[in-house]
Amino acid sequence: MQQPAAELKRSLGLWSALALVIGTVIGSGIFFKQSSVLDSAGSSTMAILAWVVGGIITLTAGLTIAEIGAQLPYTGGLYVYMEKIYGRVWGFLSGWMQIIVYGPAIIASLAGYLAVLLVNFFGLSNGWHVPLALGSMALIGGLNMFENRYGAAFAIVTTLAKLLPITAIIIFGLFYGHQGAFGQTVAGIHASTGNFGVAVLATLFGYDGWILIANLGGELKNPQKVLPKAIVIGLLFVLVIYTAVTFGVFNGMSSAMIHKLGDNTTPYLATLAFGSIGGKLLNIGVIISIVGCMNGKIMTFPRIMYAMAKRNDLPFSKRLSYVNRTTHEPMIATVTILVLAGLMVSFFDPDYLSDLCIFTVYCFYVAAFIGVFLLRKRNAGKLRPFSTPLFPITPIVAILGAVFVIVSELFADPIGAVVSLGIVAVGLPIFYVVKKVEQARKTAITRAAERD
């Protein structure tokens, strides 16, 4: 007798969920995006404001999605939400976008930023960037081949560890920095490198990751209560921390120096503030922070591929939906996501990848935010496990913020935006071909049964 296929295990509680939200959000963005946000915003004051605006947009988005997620607590997150609200085609496209563009690009960008830190930390040549990025993805991917409780425990440990460099930067900036966090400008950057919308877009990479806990909806204990709490509490915590860190960075260093150093701003600040040994210890904390963030991404994105494969929405769905009987992990889906991320990190710059993935996912966020209005109308009179506060203001702010980001990126990089949307559109013929093959298979089975 054939054994039933293994399923994902519902074993994650509030603390694990909260650690995954905070751990997947606080990664490289707050440490590596200070320079690019400054360059686009034009001054330290506008850069700090960009981080605050990005946090508010993210918080309103999280509150909106929390209401949807509490009503649809299934593995797959945005993929499931879009399908339940708009139908199979839009659900497929949102899932396709996440497993082909968004997920691999964000994992690749994190691996790229981690490689920059490791090269600086060990004094290696730039030729080590790609090998270190690939090696880090392989190691963290290996961890996620074990039961999800190991990945969740690792998320808790790394989340606690990453608070060390964050706290140190905040304390140094607040009490020992003398540059003046507000009012600094750098000549020539205003007109040449972007605008406030692009600055907000850059901060959203730093805030990104909050929705990934929804991909684990089928593995949460009591997801109707745990999911909204984890999203809301986690994002409030991150918003406060990010604003404080940004103030600390600009109070501790001049804007001209931040502009000059670019991705190396945080390592330089750590050494400036705490000396050579203290700087190395602080950079170890930042490395752990990025590793923890990568762990959260690698843990959650394969769940989308798994959920799609379970529905036979992808080529090779039988293989991609495979779950190991011992570890209850979607191993083949995890390896596939990592291979795509490896290709991206080998050929593209981390900053480009981070902007690309944020633009692409926010195109679908807009539809999801509108979906909360549709669900309320569809389920009028039914009890909701969680309701978005200040409705309808909160989802409207989320929608306007997302549209603002999309338009800003279209003006800043129209070619990149069109290319990313084109990759998403490629999913349409794939969807119809897969469905046609599936229908032909079912028809053949039916005819064979009739002949018998």
Q: pLDDT tens digits, residue range 331-388? A: 899 999 999 999 999 887 776 777 677 788 888 989 999 999 999 999 887 888 888 8
User: Cα–Cα distances in Å, from 72 out to 137, 302, 347, 385?
Assistant: 31, 19, 37, 10
**Count of CB atoms situated within 10 Å of the CB of 240:** 11
Write down the pLDDT at residue 21: 76
Give the CATH class of 14-451. mainly alpha
pLDDT digits (tens, 9 = 90+) for 205-250: 778 777 766 656 556 677 777 777 888 888 888 888 888 888 888 8
pTM value is 0.76
Rounded Cα distance between 295 and 277, Å, is 27
Write down the pLDDT at residue 369: 94
Q: With a cut of 70, which residues of the chain have pLDDT below it?
A: 1-13, 27-29, 32, 75-76, 147-152, 155-156, 159, 176-194, 212-220, 263-264, 351, 355, 452
* DSSP element (H, E) containing 217: none
Write down the pLDDT at residue 299: 81
User: Cα–Cα distances in Å, from 195 out to 14, 53, 190, 201, 303?
Assistant: 39, 14, 8, 10, 36
Q: How many residues does the chain have?
A: 452
Write down the pLDDT at residue 3: 47
Write down the pLDDT at residue 155: 67
Return the amino acid letter for 142: G
Rounded Cα distance between 20 and 61, Å, is 17
- Contact indicator for 399, 406 with CB cutoff of 8 Å: no
Q: Long-range contacts for 361-365 (Cβ within 8 Å, ≥24 apart)?
A: 361/78, 361/97, 361/98, 361/102, 361/208, 362/204, 362/402, 362/405, 362/406, 363/97, 363/406, 363/421, 363/424, 364/78, 364/82, 364/93, 364/94, 364/97, 365/61, 365/78, 365/398, 365/402
Rounded Cα distance between 82 and 88, Å, is 8
Rounded Cα distance between 409 and 352, Å, is 12
Domain ranges of the chain: 14-451
Write down the pLDDT at residue 312: 85
Residue 198's Cα: distance from chain center in Å?
18
Write down the pLDDT at residue 392: 93
